[in-house]
Chains A and B, each alone.
Chain A
Amino acid sequence: MIAYPKLKVEGVSKFYGDPSAPVVVVDHVDMRLADNEFVALVGASGCGKSTILSIVAGLQKEYQGVVLVDNKEVNGPGRDRGVVFQSYTLMPWLTALENVEFALRATGTPRKERKKLAMDYLALVGLDKFSERYPSQLSGGMKQRVAIARALSYHPKILLMDEPFGALDALTRRHMHELLTALWERHRMTVLFVTHDVEEAIFLSDRVLIMSNQPGRIKEEVVVDLPRPRTHDLLTTPVFTGLQQRVLTSIREESIKLAKLDGLA
C-alpha cells in the first residue's frame, strides 16, 4: 500500500442510463499512484478504463466516489492534471509551436517566455525542426508528440494518457514507446496510462492494473519489476514475455466471460 499517494481514486463508480436499471460501467474502483510512478490501466475494450481516466481528468460530471490529487479532492478539470487524448487534439489552425504556446498562454506563462519554453518542449519530443508545421502537415505520431509536449509544458502534477498511440501503426507505436520511456526516465513524473495493448502497458510502466469487464473493476495488479533504462531488446526476454502471458491470460478470461454474456461461446 502506498503511504503518500500522488493520486488516489476511492470507490469510484459510474452508471449510465435509467437509475432504476443502471448499466454499471465502473464499479467501486480504488487506485493509488505513488509520486513519479508510471501506472498502466489495461482491459478489454468497453471495460471502462477510459471512463476512469476521464473521471480523474475531471471531464465527467456524474460519478460516485472521490478523486484526490496530493490528498486534495478534485472536482472538474484542472492544470494539475495534463491529458493526452486518443484522438488528435491539436488545434488545426495553429502550428506545432503555437499549439504548445496555446497551453502556455492559457496557463499564464508570460508572453516573452512562451516561445522559448514551447520550443524547449518540442525539442524534448524531438520535433524542434517541425515547429512551423501545421497539424495537417504532421504524421499521426508527430501530432501525438506535440500533444505530449503541450501537456507537459505547463508542469502538471500528473500526466493522464488515454490510449495516446492507439491510432498509430505498429512501427510508429514502438518508436513512440521508446521515446516516451526515455523521456520519462529522464524527467520522472506520475503517469496514468490507459491502453488495451499489453506489450505497451508492460514496456512503459512500473505497475499494470488489469480491469474486469461488466462491471469494470480492478481485478489484478501486476508489478513490472524490469530494469531501466528500457529498450526494445527487453521485449524478447523471458521475464517480459512471462509477464505478458500473465496479463494476457487475465484479460482473456474477461473476453471469454463477455463472449459468454453475449451468447457467443
Chain B
Amino acid sequence: MAYAEKQAQSWKKGRSGFRMSVRMRNLVLALTSFTALIVIWMLITGTGAVRPLFLPGPPKVLATLYKTAMSGQLAADLWISLWRIMIAFAMSCVVAIPGGIMIGSYKTASALVQPVVDFIRYMPVVAFVPLSILWCGTGEWQKYVIIFVGTFFQQILMVQDCVKRVPKELVDVGRTLEMPEHQIMLRIVLPAAAPGIWDAMRTTLGWAWSWLVLAELVAANSGLGYRITVAQRYLQTDLIIGYVLLLGVLGLITDQLMRGAEKRMFAYLGAQ
C-alpha cells in the first residue's frame, strides 16, 4: 500500500512537473517564432533589399506608433473602434442567444428560421457593404449593420448547436419534477448550454474584429480602419503596419480576457 501510494505520488509529481515544463516549453517556442519573425523582418529591411516605403523596419513602426499614441490620435481611433464593436457585438448577442435557444429547443422555430439563416449566412458579408452604405450612409449604423450581419447569422446557429447538445436526461430531470417549460429553459437548458455559448461568443468576437475593420476601411471618418486608409493615401506604410499589428494584439487581448472569464465562470467543470 505504502509502495503504491509512493508510486502514485511520484507519478503525480512527475506529471505536474512535466506539465509545467510543457507550458514553459510552449512559451519558449512561441517566443522563438515571434523573435524569428522580427529578425527576418529586420534582416529584410536592414539590408536595404526592400525600400522602406514598402516595408519599414520594426524600429520605424514602433516609433510611429509611439508618436501616434503621444498625439492622442491612437487613443481616439481605438476608442471609437472599440465602441463600435462593443455596440454591434452586443446587439448581435442579445438577439442571437435567445433566438438560438428558441430554434435549438423547438422544432417549429427551427423549421421557420433555420433555412433563412442558412441562406443569409452563405451570402458574403463584403457584398453587403454597398447596400449598407445605401441604407445607412457612412454613419455609425453602417458599421453596426456590417458587424451584425457578419456575426449574428453565425452566432445564432452556434447557439442552437450548443442547446441541442444539452443532454436530454437533464431536461428529463426537469420534466419529472414537473417544472414548467420556461423554468426548464431558464434553469436547465440555459445554464447547461452556457459554457458552449460563451465559447461561441469568444470565437465570433474574433470575426467581428474583421468586419469592424472592413466597415471602417470602406466608409468612415474615424476608427482604426479609417486611419489605415488615410495612411495608405499618404504612403505612411509604417502607420499601416503599426495599426495592423495593433489590431492583432487587440484581438489577442480580448480573446485572452474571454478565456480568463470562461475559466472563472465555468470553474465548476473542473480541469479538462
Could you list which residues of chain A lie within 8 angstroms of chain B, going by C-beta atoms? 57-59, 76-79, 81-83, 85, 87, 89, 91-94, 102-103, 106-107, 134-137, 154
Contacts and interface: CB of A to CB of B under 8 A. Distances in A.
Contacts of B177: 79, 103, 106-107, 154
Given A85-B172, A91-B170, A91-B188, A77 B269 contact: no
B119 interface: no
B176 interface: yes
Nearest to A147: B173
Contact of B176 (A83, A102, A137): A83
A92 B172 contact: no
A154 B173 CA distance: 13
Looking at chain B, what size class is its interface with the partner chain?
A: 20 to 34
A137 B268 CA distance: 8
A164 B175 CA distance: 18
27 contacts: A57-B176, A58-B175, A59-B175, A59-B176, A76-B175, A77-B175, A77-B178, A78-B176, A81-B176, A82-B176, A83-B173, A87-B167, A89-B170, A89-B172, A89-B173, A91-B170, A91-B173, A91-B191, A93-B192, A93-B266, A103-B177, A106-B179, A134-B268, A135-B268, A136-B269, A136-B270, A137-B270
Interface of B: 167, 169-170, 172-179, 183, 187-188, 191-192, 194, 266, 268-270
A77 B184 CA distance: 14
B181 to A, nearest CB: 12
B178 A92 contact: no
Given A103-B177, A107-B177, A89 B268 contact: no
B171 to A, nearest CB: 10
B101 to A, nearest CB: 16
Nearest to B268: A134
Contact of A59 (B167, B172, B178, B192): B172
Contacts of B179: 106
